[in-house]
Amino acid sequence: MPSRPMIGYTHVTKSFGSLRAVDDLSLDIAGGEFVAIVGGSGSGKTTLLRLANRLIEADGGTITVEGDDVKNVDPVALRRRIGYVFQSGGLFPHLSVADNIGITPKLLGAPVADIDARVDELLALVQLDRAAHRDRLPEALSGGQRQRVGVARALAAGPRIVLMDEPFGALDPLTRDALGDDYRALHRKLGLTTVMITHDMTEAILLADRIAVMRGGRLLAQGTPAELSTSSDAYVLDLLRTPRRQVQRLNTLLPSSGAA
Amino acid sequence: MSLFTDPRWGEALSHLPDYLGNHVRVSLAALALGLAISLPLAILTRNRPAPRAILLAFASIVQTVPGLALLALFYPLLLAAASVTLAWFGISFSAFGFLPAMLALALYSMLPVLRNGITGLNGIDPALIEAAKGVGMTPRQSLLMVELPLALPVMMAGIRTAAVWVIGTATLSTPIGQTSLGNYIFAGLQTQNWVFVLFGCFASALLALAVDQLLGLIESGLRHRSRLRTGLGGIGIAALVVATLVPTMSRSSQGYVVGAKTFAEQYVLSALLRERLQAAGLSATARSGLGSSVIFEALKAGDIDLYVDYSGTLWANQLHRTDIKPRAELLADLKTALAKDNITLLGELGFENAYALVIPKKRAEALGIRDISDLAAHASTLSIAGDYEFFSRPEWAALQKTYGLQFRAQRQMQPDFMYAAVASGEVDVIAGYTSDGLIAKYDLVALDDPRHAIPPYDAILLLAPKRAGDEKLQAALKPLLGRIDIATMREANLRASGNDANSSPDAVAQWLWEKVGRR
């Protein structure tokens, strides 16, 4: 583990009323890493993500982003330097695709011409046709296209960190697969540090370098898929075995010829 | 004469620049003030349920107050406020006309703006507000770039509703001295001039429709981010305001302002006073349709220069006297009392417009009723109708006390309809006015008051404090004093109740002058 993590959680606690959403959790995420946070509903994974850009304030513990304690960073400035991909896109329905993508550079005061050029660059990056999509409103896009715009928006201000809250959860399987792969390629190409929330272990194994498993606000286990497979925790093992179990069942149900 | 060739259309049209201009200015000012208060309140309380509930409850309560009452309430309220500021800071302001009308209408506009504003802002998907935060917007940027644009359609619907309400309700600001399209309606209803009533209704409906459409254009422009449409809508509204300002600015000084209360006789007398002033080379304008208590305060404050009131009215309402004195004594006392307020009682016109209990002549003969004492014996089987203020006036209390009157039922009625109602037997007795021409028309009789329960009601000419030493004015008015007897006034009032061109207040005033001026 490098001495200075890109994102560092140290004994972080957050409660909502009597519910402990995050309970004494410590986790370091290194620069360039792709970490998936996995857990059931209510395990605290979304809370953990939002603590990083101060959409939620921690009750206790320390959170650092690029070495800075987030408590000492203006939350608005912090959010502008961290890309965030929302669950169902979170695109502003009254703004065109281009205006949605260009919003953070605009907030940062970038010149209009620079924003225009950046939008075109990002459309190409997320593989959307400029002419067909640039001036459309989000309602005229498919779910996959909307999420591509969401990714482009998160990347617009050139962040080093991207937080993703179940970004591909609501998509059909084919789109989801394609989008996941495309994002993984972008992550590598741009040298990003990505934290992605998912409840789908298969997606986590296929995309992430490292997986953190949460349950009841605590970090149950963390490591590469291979490391996790040697875990002593029954829940972790059960989660990890699920993809393979599904594959075995699929193999018995589908004829093996045809598909590669 | 066909409806369309009626010369009163032309007369109505000649008032349009003045009435419409004032209407537009007071409505738009009220709307602007209402928006300036309501929109920030809607924004401030959007995340605060408790203040929001209180605010909406307040706005709803305001809305349940009838428009006319709300407008009327603001007059005494401002009057009190003006006397306080005068005492504390030495500054006074006019509680008459524009200010109370604008404030009341602004209050009236609040509910739709608040409710739609709050609904619109709270109806936004919380995920979008989270997204606005997430991409790095400050709360202010989130409000301006995301929340307000998304709430805009609902908010604009509220603003459009408020605009239509305010423009409609502004017609009721006439009685507190704000000239509006309501002047047509009030004057028309009082003088049976249906051309005026129709004209006023159509004009205010058209104005409401036009403003609504212009706001709609702005809304569609904002929604589709079309500068053209937003601009056109804005220009339209600005043009409306400018167009209404031009005739006002080009008009020379107003000269003398002649007040009139809300009934036909007052419209006729006001027209007569203006004609006399103009004949003497003085310029004069009318402020008609003023409420009974508003008009006296307006004179005292100098918002109007002269008007005709009735001795008994002032005796009871302004001096708060319940005793009754003979005619001459009462007038003398009144003159002294008014002089303390620097109001000049120039003199009496010659007739009385007293309250009188009126029944059909045939009915009176059949029941053997000659005066109110006789009526008292039958009262328990009879119903009585009076105008909107009669039953709360001291005269009614005095009548009840003096004669032991106990009627089976009492109801309030529009004065113009009372006479027909008693003639047709819908009510048995009405509290009519002695100078009313309809008494003769419907063959009714005003019963004597042998025990003098009702004070004398001599028509008297009052001048504002600032006109106390105005000899030119007084010289122009003196020829009217003592000239108008009750028979003449009744005939004039009967003429004014007709529904043709000869029944306009101006025409009747001319007839009246021809009749009394030669004497």
Each residue's pLDDT tens digit, B171-200: 998 888 888 899 898 888 777 778 889 999
Most B CBs within 10 Å, among A65, A80, A100, A107, to test the B interface: A107
Among the ranges given (A4-18, A142-156, B176-190, B240-254), the one the predictor scored with the smallest mean pLDDT: B240-254
**Alpha carbons B292 and B298: distance in angstroms, whole number:** 10
Paired tokens of A162:
């991207």
The confidence score (pLDDT) of residue B89 equals: 81
Where would I find the H helices in chain A? 45-52, 75-80, 97-101, 103-107, 112-125, 130-133, 143-155, 173-190, 201-207, 225-228, 234-253
Closest partner CB to A55 (pick from B128, B134, B150) = B134
Please determine, for residue B127, whether its predicted confidence score (pLDDT) is greater than 60: yes
The average pLDDT across A100-126 equals: 93
Among the four given CATH numbers 3.30.70.250, 1.10.3720.10, 3.10.450.50, 2.40.128.20, the one describing domain B20-182: 1.10.3720.10
**Alpha carbons B447 and B431: distance in angstroms, whole number:** 10
Most A CBs within 10 Å, among B133, B135, B137, to test the A interface: B135
Closest partner CB to A76 (pick from B131, B136, B145) = B136
Instruction: Compute the nearest-CA separation of B302 from chain A (Å).
Output: 55
The confidence score (pLDDT) of residue B72 equals: 81
User: Which residues of chain A lie closer than 8 angstroms to B136, CB-CB?
Assistant: 76-77, 79-80, 104, 107-108, 157
Interface contact B130-A53, CB threshold 8 A: no
The confidence score (pLDDT) of residue B251 equals: 47
Interface contact B135-A79, CB threshold 8 A: yes
Residue B481 contacts residue B458 (beta carbons within 8 Å): no
Instruction: Compute the nearest-CA separation of B128 from chain A (Å).
Output: 6
User: Diameter of chain A by CA atoms?
Assistant: 59
**Alpha carbons A93 and B471: distance in angstroms, whole number:** 73
| Band of residue A175 on the pLDDT scale cut at 50, 70, 90 | confident
The confidence score (pLDDT) of residue A199 equals: 85
Instruction: Compute the nearest-CA separation of A101 from chain B (Å).
Output: 10
Residue B35 contacts residue B117 (beta carbons within 8 Å): no
Please determine, for residue A69, whether its predicted confidence score (pLDDT) is greater than 80: yes
Residue B398 contacts residue B322 (beta carbons within 8 Å): yes
Interface contact A86-B130, CB threshold 8 A: yes
Query: Residue type at A124?
Result: A
Query: Residue type at B294?
Result: V
List A84's β-bridge partners, or say none: A163
The average pLDDT across B501-505 equals: 81
Residue of B nearest to A159 (CA): B135
Residues of B with CB under 8 A from a CB of A: 127-128, 130-138, 141, 145-146, 149-150
Instruction: Compute the nearest-CA separation of A10 from chain B (Å).
Output: 23
Q: What is the mean pLDDT of chain A?
A: 90
φ, ψ dihedrals at B410, nearest 5°: -135, 145
The confidence score (pLDDT) of residue B136 equals: 92
Share of chain B above pLDDT 90, in %: 38
Please determine, for residue B168, whether its predicted confidence score (pLDDT) is greater than 80: yes
**Alpha carbons B12 and B351: distance in angstroms, whole number:** 30
The average pLDDT across B232-256 equals: 73
Closest partner CB to B136 (pick from A80, A92, A93) = A80
The confidence score (pLDDT) of residue A21 equals: 92
The average pLDDT across B10-24 equals: 84
Task: Write the CB contacts of B233 (distance below 8 Å, at least 6 apart in sequence).
Answer: B214, B215, B216, B217, B218, B219, B221
Interface contact A93-B137, CB threshold 8 A: no
Output B74 or B365, whichever has higher pLDDT: B365
| Band of residue B414 on the pLDDT scale cut at 50, 70, 90 | confident
Residue of B nearest to A95 (CA): B146
- What pTM did the predictor assign? 0.74
| Band of residue B250 on the pLDDT scale cut at 50, 70, 90 | very low
For B396-406, how does the pLDDT look when each residue is reduced to its tens digit (9 = 90+)?
888 999 999 88
Helix (H) or strand (E) holding A27: strand A19-29
Closest CA to B422 of B397, B439, B400: B439
Size of interface A-B (CB pairs under 8 A): 51
The average pLDDT across B281-288 equals: 87
| Band of residue A213 on the pLDDT scale cut at 50, 70, 90 | very high
Interface contact B135-A104, CB threshold 8 A: yes
Share of chain B above pLDDT 70, in %: 97
* 3-class SS string, B197-245: HHHHHHHHHHHHHHHHHHHHHHHHHHHCCCHHHHHHHHHHHHHHHHHHH
Output B85 or B148, whichever has higher pLDDT: B148
| Band of residue A260 on the pLDDT scale cut at 50, 70, 90 | very low
**Alpha carbons B228 and B217: distance in angstroms, whole number:** 10
Q: In terms of DSSP bridges, do strands B429-433 and B383-386 run parallel, antiparallel, or are they unpaired?
A: parallel
**Alpha carbons B233 and A62: distance in angstroms, whole number:** 54
Interface contact B136-A79, CB threshold 8 A: yes
The average pLDDT across A202-226 equals: 92
**Alpha carbons A93 and A51: distance in angstroms, whole number:** 26
Residue of A nearest to B141 (CA): A107
Please determine, for residue A197, whether its predicted confidence score (pLDDT) is greater than 90: yes
User: Which residues of chain B lie closer than 8 angstroms to A77, CB-CB?
Assistant: 136
What 8-state DSSP symbol labels residue B344? E
The average pLDDT across A218-234 equals: 89
The confidence score (pLDDT) of residue A3 equals: 63
Closest CA to B324 of B431, B397, B410, B432: B397
Residue of A nearest to B150 (CA): A94
Residue B298 contacts residue B458 (beta carbons within 8 Å): no
Closest partner CB to B134 (pick from A79, A94, A108) = A79
Closest partner CB to B128 (pick from A53, A84, A92) = A92
Share of chain A above pLDDT 70, in %: 97
Residues of A with CB under 8 A from a CB of B: 53, 55, 76-77, 79-80, 84, 86-88, 90-94, 103-104, 107-108, 153, 157
Residue A158 contacts residue A110 (beta carbons within 8 Å): no
The confidence score (pLDDT) of residue B75 equals: 81
**Alpha carbons B79 and B298: distance in angstroms, whole number:** 10
Paired tokens of B291:
């409420």
Among the ranges given (A133-137, B93-97, B256-260), the one the predictor scored with the smallest mean pLDDT: B93-97
For A26-67, how does the pLDDT look when each residue is reduced to its tens digit (9 = 90+)?
999 999 999 999 988 889 999 999 999 999 999 999 999 999
Instruction: Compute the nearest-CA separation of B226 from chain A (Å).
Output: 13
User: What is the CATH architecture assignment of B355-446?
Assistant: 3-Layer(aba) Sandwich (3.40)
Buried b (16+ CB within 10 A) or exposed e, B106-140: bbbbbbbbbbbbbbbbbebeeebbbbbbbbbbeee
Q: Where in chain B is the domain with CATH 1.10.3720.10?
A: 20-182
Q: Where in chain B is the domain with CATH 3.40.190.120?
A: 355-446
User: What is the CATH architecture assignment of B256-351+460-517?
Assistant: 3-Layer(aba) Sandwich (3.40)
Residue of A nearest to B152 (CA): A94
Please determine, for residue B4, whether its predicted confidence score (pLDDT) is greater than 80: no
Q: Where in chain B is the domain with CATH 3.40.190.10?
A: 256-351+460-517
The confidence score (pLDDT) of residue B496 equals: 86
B186-B192-B196 Cα angle (round to 5): 55
Interface contact A93-B128, CB threshold 8 A: yes
User: Which residues of chain B lie closer than 8 angstroms to A90, CB-CB?
Assistant: 127-128, 130-131, 134
For B326-366, how does the pLDDT look when each residue is reduced to its tens digit (9 = 90+)?
888 999 999 999 999 899 999 999 999 988 999 999 999 99
The confidence score (pLDDT) of residue B518 equals: 66
